Structure 1
Amino acid sequence: MHTLPATDIELAAWLRLSLAPGLKPAALRLLLSAFGLPEAIFDQAPEALAAIAGEAAARAALAPTGSDFDARLDAVIAWREQPGNHIVTLDDPAYPPALLTMPDPPPLLYIKGRLNLLHTRAVALVGSRSATPQGVEDAQRFARELSVAGVTVVSGLALGIDGAAHRGGLEGVGGTVAVIGTGADLVYPAAHHALARQIAVQGAILSEWPLGTPARAANFPQRNRLIAGLVSGVVIVEAAMRSGSLITARLANEMGRDIFALPGSIHAPLSRGCHRIIKQGAKLVETPDEVLEELGFARRAAPRPPPSAAHAVLSSDADSTNGRALSGATVSRPNSAPTPAPTAGASAADPATAGHPASPRPPLDPEAERLLATLGHSPTTLEILATRTEMEDAALQSHLLQLELAGQVTALPGGRFMRASHG
């Protein structure tokens, strides 16, 4: 190996252990507890290591490095030298203290962004990749309120609920941490490139995977274990019966973390996972305050900044760079004139004719289909639907009536609407 300064020699030893095939973090922790730093492990006889962690761990720890090890070490050192990048080893004071309570903390963490966010009060918000518009709104609102209260929001950078959780977390002082299942030099999914850049500046991105590791299905349950380890509690917003979020909840429960779930309609597939874990003992929550209270996190004394001050700057920056459009919702600009909705014929724009459709079961036009797609199984107000679709009132009312007559939508008291249970 080429000559290296002392700190890089230590990093080389940590990297060698973290890359050793078949050396599990729990076994490595036993060896480190017995012998101290990695260099000391390499000085031991195989029998000494085997007596502490078993023969398989001894073989793995003392296995010679691969021919590409020097190149990989150079890449890690170069990555660490880039602004905002950190490599934190298990013996480093910067190592997240919450992860040290796990039985198998990773030996090496690759972190982009603010290290201090890994030493704060934190709550995970996770859920379905194929979230409903209502789920996305709920996740972003819960995350925003938790972050405003000074709590760091942790999630996994996936599409759907995770992305909404990160965007909400960026809107408050608590910030957000993305725990990813690839190398820290990659972004997955590609649609979250802009969001990841913003998190790397205003929050933190954390990975235990070697640089260059692509997205593999097997990595994500392991990623979920780190999400669970970093936090005091996990909030599940939407989850199907076989959801990765339920793996996170199970792992968190095993580590003694609190589990919360938002309930939903009995007809909604993405409520079933939430209802299942509520039956198994998760706490049903309807507001962010319930999460804060249950975890004993007092709200910060500082009031929320007024919209005209820093909060507006942060929100507008967040929305203008990558904003809510990434979640699938359209960005509405409160100070501009409403965007005219594409008309589906004169009757759509004319309130006088809106109440008298030509036939009792008209075929659905594309705009009505688009409106139906934004409706979840939870009661939704006209205001929320107008924001989601950017339709003018007359067009919105007309399409809602069309959907109601087609049996796709149910009108509820109080001017609320929801998707019909069979629709």
Structure 2
Amino acid sequence: MNEHALLRDWLIALRTPGLGSVGLRERLAATQGSIGEALAHLRRHASALDARAPAWLEQPDEARIAADLAWLAEPGHRLLRFTDVDFPPQLETIAQPPAALFVSGDASLLLRPQVAMVGARSASVAGKANARAFARTLATAGFVVTSGLADGIDGAAHEAALEAGQPTVAVIGTGPDLVYPRKHRDLSSRVESHGALVSEFPPGTAARTDHFPRRNRIISGLSLGTLVVEAGLQSGSLITARLAGEQGREVFAVPGSIHNPLARGCHRLIREGARLVESASEIVESLIPAARALGVELAQRLEQSPADRQERGQTAIGGWRVDPEYQRLLDVLGHEQVALDELAARTGQTAAVLSSMLLMLELEGRVEGLPGGRYQRLPGG
């Protein structure tokens, strides 16, 4: 079966009423990943799904499927299926993992270490300033800032990452061709051009209240940790934080004034065990081991060395890009064990900048971090 036919079958399955991601995953597992066989089984047992399922499976809306295929045919658009080798492994361990994601932009960013940033839509001026500061530092430290494109903290986080010249990922609660809220049309376009827009919902799907809690599990699931910058006691951000905790991810919260209602949600999280943070460097330090583990897992999953991927013209797993400063650091590092302060003296870079660069090189398998804050270039690195 050619790719066009495979995509058509996937789109029919994804739009089948009453099936859902879990049902589709189960059916594909039973057919060893054959979407054609899965659809055939669904047609035989359609009555067990939704009342609308039999009619849809018997005669899908061809205009709707054609529109979906047209969207996927556009440059930079992709249906990232859980059967694809580069589907984010972070999502495989969450409750109700998505069967597929519609991606507009750079899908390889979903394989990079990410930090979710969430908070109040009606954020204060100070809250948005904090979000920008945290996002800027996290982005330049090598973490992809992931959020939901909402007003307030989400928008500030995306903006700051882009202003720092770094990519950002937005997981949205509509189809990938729609923008919500509409005021973020320009921001959405910039995220698409310099990062990735991600949705579990097919093109044309309008915003619905129940979509946003569903997308929150993907925001937290993609990320190594979730930072709540500002949130009231009824904030949806607390749902994302709860999901992150259930998924075994780190939860961070920024404290605020006891007189600020938008700080109460963060204070509750801290009382319940979230880590109180006052600077982004605390988050970077906390998540480096998880980022390294993710890099190892991805390398094993793809079963290719960095050189193999570069030879095939593929984006490196850790997101490290050819840069003269990185090459200079490797030259200075040599093949001996060197302490971070010695590297700082040799390169003239600050310890914070070097830590970020070394993290990316570690994720690429070019440098190894050793006890005592020492680093060593690996053979072939």
Which of 1, 8, 12 does residue 8 from structure 2 map onto?
12
d(CA) in 1 for partners of 2:41, 2:77: 33
CA deviations 1:22-81 (Å, max 9, x no partner) are: 11322322222121222112333889x79xxxx845988766437562111111111112
1:228 paired residue number: 220
Residue pair 2:116, 2:226 contacting (<8 A) in 1 also: yes
Aligned-pair CA distance for 1:7: 1.1
In the alignment, structure 1 residue 213 sits paired with structure 2 residue 205: yes
Residue pair 1:154, 1:176 contacting (<8 A) in 2 also: yes
**Equivalences for residues 183-202 of structure 1 within 5 A:** 183-202=175-194
2:40 paired residue number: 43
Q: For 2:57, what is the secondary structure of its paired residue?
A: coil
Residue pair 1:15, 1:108 contacting (<8 A) in 2 also: no
Q: For 1:26, what is the secondary structure of its paired residue?
A: helix
2:252 paired residue number: 260
Which of 158, 167, 171 does residue 179 from structure 1 map onto?
171
Aligned-pair CA distance for 1:100: 2.1
Alpha carbons of structure 1 residues 167 and 200: separation in structure 2 relative to 1, 3 Å: same
Q: For 1:76, what is the secondary structure of its paired residue?
A: helix
Which of 120, 128, 131 does residue 128 from structure 1 map onto?
120
1:94 paired residue number: 86
d(CA) in 1 for partners of 2:226, 2:86: 23
CA deviations 1:316-350 (Å, max 9, x no partner) are: xxxxxxxxxxxxxxxxxxxxxxxxxxxxxxxxxxx
Alpha carbons of structure 1 residues 203 and 261: separation in structure 2 relative to 1, 3 Å: same
In the alignment, structure 1 residue 296 sits paired with structure 2 residue 300: no
Residue pair 2:227, 2:251 contacting (<8 A) in 1 also: yes
Q: For 1:83, what is the secondary structure of its paired residue?
A: coil
Residue pair 1:147, 1:171 contacting (<8 A) in 2 also: no
Deviates more, 1:111-120 or 1:101-110: 101-110
The structure showing larger relative contact order (alpha-carbon pairs under 8 Å, at least 6 residues apart) is 2
Q: Give the AA of the match of 1:162.
A: D
Aligned-pair CA distance for 1:96: 2.1
Q: For 2:25, what is the secondary structure of its paired residue?
A: helix
**Equivalences for residues 69-80 of structure 1 within 5 A:** 69-80=61-72
Aligned-pair CA distance for 1:174: 4.9
Alpha carbons of structure 1 residues 250 and 214: separation in structure 2 relative to 1, 3 Å: same
Residue pair 2:191, 2:197 contacting (<8 A) in 1 also: yes
Is there any run of 5+ residues in structure 2 with no aligned partner, and where? 293-319, 327-348, 351-381
d(CA) in 2 for partners of 1:237, 1:244: 13
d(CA) in 1 for partners of 2:50, 2:60: 22
Residue pair 2:171, 2:218 contacting (<8 A) in 1 also: yes
d(CA) in 1 for partners of 2:7, 2:187: 30
d(CA) in 1 for partners of 2:288, 2:101: 29
Residue pair 2:18, 2:50 contacting (<8 A) in 1 also: no
d(CA) in 2 for partners of 1:165, 1:182: 20
In the alignment, structure 1 residue 23 sits paired with structure 2 residue 15: no
Select the structure of larger CA radius of gyration.
1
d(CA) in 1 for partners of 2:50, 2:179: 34
d(CA) in 2 for partners of 1:68, 1:41: 16
d(CA) in 1 for partners of 2:193, 2:130: 25
d(CA) in 2 for partners of 1:242, 1:193: 27
d(CA) in 2 for partners of 1:46, 1:158: 38
Is there any run of 5+ residues in structure 1 with no aligned partner, and where? 305-423
